[in-house]
Structure 1
Amino acid sequence: MAIQPDPPSETSFEGFKYGTLDADKREIRLVTLEEGIWSDEIRCSLRTLSLHDQPAYEALSYVTENLWLAMRRLRKSTEPRVFWIDAICINQSNNDEKSSQVSFMGEIYQGSQETTLWLGEDPYTVEVGSKSAAGHRLAELFEILLSDKHMSELPCFIEDGTRTDVSEDYLQHFDDLAMFLDKPWWKRIWVIQEMVLPPKIRFVYGSEQFSYDTLRAVLEIFREHAAHCCKNFRLRLRGAGFDPLMVIEERVSPMVYVRERWRNSDEKITLLQLRRMFSASQASVSRDLFYALLGIVNSWGLATPLQPDYNISSRDAIIKAVYACMVESGGASFLQGERISEDRSPDFPSWLPDLHVRSTPSRRVWGEQQRLKIAERFSATAGLKQDTTQFSLASDGTLRLQALKVDKVIRVGDATDPLDEFDKVPDVFRQWMGMIGMGVQDWPESPPTRGSQQDSFWRTILNDSIEVEQGAGYVRPSDGDYHQLLDLWKMITATVWPLLVSMARSSVETRKSDSEPFEMMNTLLNLAPSIAYHVLVCLWGRRMIITEKGLIGLAPRTVQEGDEVHILLGSEVPFILRPGHVNVYSSEVDRYSTPVYTVIGNGYLHGVMCGEAFEGDGQNEITVIALH
């Protein structure tokens, strides 16, 4: 049967007649793409085979609107090719078949002879099907980056005082790289397993092809230089080089990392790890944020392995997936994250952070992932995990688990957003200092006495942590870090601060893009001590709080006076919970005797981050609570 674009940006599969697949026999369909030249219509046929028979086929990874063009690019002129293509080989209107076939996907990609990763056409191609100029320039840029030289020695970069940028001769190359990395393929959650699992993969971009080994080598060389010898050069990079290199670090590098781990069969890979790593990836239906990763998971611990089920709602599917991650990990760390999305459905329980219920903008994911790395330094529960006999999920989505109430919020400061509201940062800092009786001039030149209010304040601002080096983890701040923070404080409280903000804004106002706040942030912080990046992560969207016991902390911007601070067993950090006003009886959680809370989010509370709350009789005060 023939396939035609209808309209040109979409692909029509009318004419395919689907029979029934036998899941017990592990049956799949394969599509044969008949030979033809570019101008011929696309003709193909379906047949059913069993995975037990180890059939020979290739797999295709793509985004739906590009399938018609992909088939024309990949078709041979003299012989047919046999593919597994999910949109064609799965009856998308049959939820039972879809559920079983998705559960086979890991085996399907592993069993392919090769998987082609089709990224789409070069946008500069004048005529569809012609040679790709952008792809050629991309290959040239990869060749330069593979030279393994310091970034300052590469011909594609220039250095001008405190700023590094792309040289004029290579602006088009980096524009091509940016468009290549902005292709929808890189953002799609399903492509993770499609890149990780196959024994052999190749990238096709228009008329150009390049191997996975080339991409991996570019990433390894760039990461090594950017994290060590060229770290300062990388941090000062602006202009055309900023966007694509940020995308490589945040989106492409994790894919390569997981593929390399997968090739090492001894590596433990959990759904929790994958979901956190790819929290910026997108899915057309939210349940696929989890289902698309199942083929890579090789460790479930005490949890029952999750199976795709397209006959239940996305809400129920996500609740089951997150609960399985919590059972596997033995705790509540997977509940960390913000709950501030305006378009978040009220059907989702409050204990599900935004990261798990919807695709999340990359700039928010950047901040969330840094905070998760900071949290790994702490052990607020002193290593205690949830007792599986006390840990349960009710049919209405109420989560029952063990927790220790440690304090209550009695004062809340103004919210700070250093990324979008640079101008307000000094006033917010002054207000926070006033909450603990500090004046603007009260920063001592030497580190304050351990245990004093001033000591608690500056350590809270930094979440009592500092990054050792890029990707190497966090440790307790030193006296030198205090002096950097003091220098930053002097800078933002100086009368010149508004002028610096204005200069930074002017330097990026001509580049209107999603990364503009990042560019302005980097332009501004380039003038500040290096610790400013860490302060940004710690304070982004946070309010300072003071508790009944006089402790200082940072909490989500939605925190209110009267909220409580609890440590949920198995989480590295404390949570802000809001007591419920109405208890609706549920026999599954015995809500008449179990206090019910709304989750506001996780935070930092100085003095309880390393298990102090569980010292002495602390363990005897652990109770069971319900989260809705």
Structure 2
Amino acid sequence: MKEIYSNTQRAILWLGDYSDTAVPSHPNAVLSRGEVKAAFGIAEDLAADRHHDTPEDREIAEGYRALDALLKVPWWQRIWTVQEALLPKHAVLRYGDTEMPFARFWKAFDHYFAQSYRECCGEYWLDFTDTSSNVISCLQTAIDYRRLLSHDQGLVFSVLISTFRGRLATDPRDKIFGLSGLAGTLVADYSLQPKDVFMRAIRTTITDSGSLAPLLRTPEPDRAKDLPTWAPDCCAKLGPEAQHSWDMVWFGLFAAFDAAMGTKAAMLNPSAGPVLPLQGLLVDEIYEVVVHGICRDRDEFCAMARRWQHTTETVAKRNHGVYPRGGTYKDAFWRTMVGDMILHEFDAQGTGQSRRAKASDEANCRMLWNPNGDHSMGVPFSRDRQFFTTRAGLIGIGNPGPKVGDAIYVLLGGRVPFILRPTPKKQDGATLLEYVSPAYVHGIMDGEVMKEKREPSWVHLI
């Protein structure tokens, strides 16, 4: 399919037929001609970066409702339509006989994201339902996809899997095969069971890219028990769309840091079964975990941050205020809260930017846990994460799930540290470990562990 779509000069992405046609040609005839015209009209306005800040304007309001309905058409929910939209040189959305270049549709939402970030035209943003918000979020990643192509191919594939995992597929193997043409060399093989496809996707992408970005994924609380912890469960249910959006922000951390100093992942027996052997360095062990539930509002987020700060202050007293990897706990805490990253204003093209935090950012970042403060600089990195301390006194955050006794590793090919869980199981005398989460651990994000010149050991994940 990759070759077919890539060599296509012009692809018609057919969404459905008008509901007011005498004999609709498709069961997905849910929008009238007028509604489709209104939806594409609003999209064209957004593509031109026109602002709609008059909620009482009936025509504009109806246009946004029509656009919301357009984004609920089943075409947006299918896994194979991702390649159909991204690979052709020129793609056109078509509903009935109404058309709009897909690139123009992308531009509309590029501007829409910028407008929503600036909190202008906000009344219309709230009008979109959860189903449409999911499509919008996926569109944002699709827009970013072409920018990612010049970077880590392993990251590209892992982002695609997590972004579009909610898409529908009759065959669960298509959750992988429907995206494999976009990045990497994985070849569709329907003789394999779904579990084997999920494992092969990770192994192949790590081998191709030398990167451990394929290990990144959003939390999967309802994973299949028979699947290795390092492989994604593409059949697991996703949480609310808003939660999934926060989770996806973590992929940005992988590109921003270089904990393993540009090393390539090393694997033994890359075609083997459920054990994934990698090389890495043990850094520390988790000593305390601060458990906190989902933050439903600003007050709950501030309460969570205060608990984290109190824990940090307690650890600081034990270490006489000196952070083990240099600097102060005061500095380590606020940087951990924002993942040491600052979100920028959108530029003129509607592209969101981020950068590493500077000392001058501290005052603004500390407003995060002020109930009346501005949360825009760091909430995505720390919201609904799990805070932990280590035996040596390091602090960090990861996905929900770490436990006391879990190990912190820097693995070759990994730009961020990983939390792994030792098990009683052994293979050839080596302890087998379970994958838990990527992590931000202050003080080891930029190659500090690799500079110690220790010899990496084999780490066997199950």
TM over 0.5: yes
1:280 aligns with 2:163: yes
Question: Residues 456 and 606 of structure 1 are in contact (CA less than 8 Å); yes or no, is this contact kept in structure 2?
Answer: yes
Question: Residues 391 and 402 of structure 1 are in contact (CA less than 8 Å); yes or no, is this contact kept in structure 2?
Answer: no
Q: Distance in 1 between matches of 2:340 and 2:148?
A: 31
Match of 2:459 in 1: 625
Cα-to-partner distance string for 1:378-433 (whole Å, 9 max, x where unaligned): 1111212223xx43346431100101100011111122532x36553343333322
1:463 to partner: Cα distance = 1.2
Correspondent of 1:313 among 164, 186, 193 = 193
* Pairing of 1:314-393 with structure 2 (within 5 A): 314-342=194-222, 344-354=223-233, 356=234, 358=236, 360=238, 362-387=241-266, 390-393=267-270
1:352 to partner: Cα distance = 2.0
Which amino acid is the alignment partner of residue 71 of structure 2? Answer: L
1:319 to partner: Cα distance = 0.7
* Pairing of 1:402-551 with structure 2 (within 5 A): 402-418=279-295, 420=296, 422-437=298-313, 451-470=327-346, 471=351, 473-491=353-371, 528-529=373-374, 532-551=375-394
Structure ID, larger Rg: 1
Which amino acid is the alignment partner of residue 277 of structure 1? Answer: L
Which amino acid is the alignment partner of residue 600 of structure 1? Answer: V
Match of 1:217 in 2: 104
Name the CA shift for 1:111/1:375 in 2 (closer, same or farther; >3 Å). Answer: closer
Match of 1:208 in 2: 97
Name the CA shift for 1:177/1:577 in 2 (closer, same or farther; >3 Å). Answer: same
1:241 to partner: Cα distance = 5.7
Q: Distance in 1 between matches of 2:134 and 2:389?
A: 38
Correspondent of 1:567 among 410, 415, 421 = 410
Question: Residues 285 and 407 of structure 2 are in contact (CA less than 8 Å); yes or no, is this contact kept in structure 1?
Answer: yes
Match of 1:250 in 2: 137
1:119 aligns with 2:15: yes
- Give the match's secondary structure for 1:615: helix
Match of 2:41 in 1: 140
1:623 to partner: Cα distance = 0.4
Q: Distance in 2 between matches of 1:481 and 1:229?
A: 23
Which amino acid is the alignment partner of residue 461 of structure 1? Answer: M
Name the CA shift for 1:108/1:269 in 2 (closer, same or farther; >3 Å). Answer: farther
Correspondent of 1:604 among 432, 437, 440 = 440
Which amino acid is the alignment partner of residue 398 of structure 2? Answer: A
Cα-to-partner distance string for 1:498-544 (whole Å, 9 max, x where unaligned): xxxxxxxxxxxxxxxxxxxxxxxxxxxxxx41xx1343222233222
Question: Residues 15 and 75 of structure 2 are in contact (CA less than 8 Å); yes or no, is this contact kept in structure 1?
Answer: yes
Return the structure number with greater relative CO, CA threshold 8 A, min gap 6. 2
1:290 to partner: Cα distance = 1.9
Q: Distance in 2 between matches of 1:253 and 1:114?
A: 22
* Pairing of 1:133-282 with structure 2 (within 5 A): 133-149=34-50, 151=51, 156-158=52-54, 167-198=57-88, 200-205=90-95, 207-212=96-101, 215-220=102-107, 223=110, 227=114, 231-233=118-120, 238-240=125-127, 249-255=136-142, 270=153, 272-277=155-160, 279-281=162-164, 282=167
1:325 to partner: Cα distance = 0.7
Equivalent pairs counted in the alignment come to 439
- Give the match's secondary structure for 1:145: helix
Name the CA shift for 1:556/1:359 in 2 (closer, same or farther; >3 Å). Answer: closer
Q: Higher mean Cα deviation, 127-136 or 368-377? A: 127-136
Q: Distance in 1 between matches of 2:285 and 2:263?
A: 22
Q: Distance in 1 between matches of 2:293 and 2:436?
A: 17
Cα-to-partner distance string for 1:292-338 (whole Å, 9 max, x where unaligned): 123344xx5xxxx3221111101101111111111112131221234
Q: Distance in 2 between matches of 1:399 and 1:183?
A: 40
Which amino acid is the alignment partner of residue 332 of structure 2? Answer: S
TM-score (structure 2 length as normaliser): 0.83
Question: Residues 350 and 600 of structure 1 are in contact (CA less than 8 Å); yes or no, is this contact kept in structure 2?
Answer: yes
- Give the match's secondary structure for 2:264: coil
Question: Residues 416 and 425 of structure 1 are in contact (CA less than 8 Å); yes or no, is this contact kept in structure 2?
Answer: no
Question: Residues 109 and 139 of structure 2 are in contact (CA less than 8 Å); yes or no, is this contact kept in structure 1?
Answer: no
Which amino acid is the alignment partner of residue 425 of structure 1? Answer: F
Question: Residues 158 and 213 of structure 2 are in contact (CA less than 8 Å); yes or no, is this contact kept in structure 1?
Answer: no
Q: Distance in 2 between matches of 1:540 and 1:197?
A: 34
Q: Distance in 2 between matches of 1:229 and 1:430?
A: 29
Correspondent of 2:175 among 270, 286, 289 = 289
Q: Distance in 2 between matches of 1:230 and 1:550?
A: 37
Cα-to-partner distance string for 1:346-403 (whole Å, 9 max, x where unaligned): 121101245x55474543442232111133111111212223xx43346431100101
Q: Distance in 1 between matches of 2:381 and 2:403?
A: 19
Q: Distance in 2 between matches of 1:601 and 1:381?
A: 16
Question: Residues 157 and 166 of structure 1 are in contact (CA less than 8 Å); yes or no, is this contact kept in structure 2?
Answer: no
Runs of 5+ consecutive residues of structure 1 not aligned to the other structure: 1-104, 159-164, 440-449, 493-527, 584-590
Q: Distance in 2 between matches of 1:394 and 1:580?
A: 23
1:257 to partner: Cα distance = 6.0
1:208 to partner: Cα distance = 3.4
Which amino acid is the alignment partner of residue 208 of structure 1? Answer: D
| Cα root mean square deviation, aligned | 3.4
1:483 to partner: Cα distance = 1.6
TM-score (structure 1 length as normaliser): 0.63
Correspondent of 1:616 among 443, 452, 461 = 452
Runs of 5+ consecutive residues of structure 2 not aligned to the other structure: 316-325
- Give the match's secondary structure for 2:92: strand
- Give the match's secondary structure for 1:279: helix
Q: Distance in 1 between matches of 2:47 and 2:180?
A: 34
1:210 to partner: Cα distance = 0.4
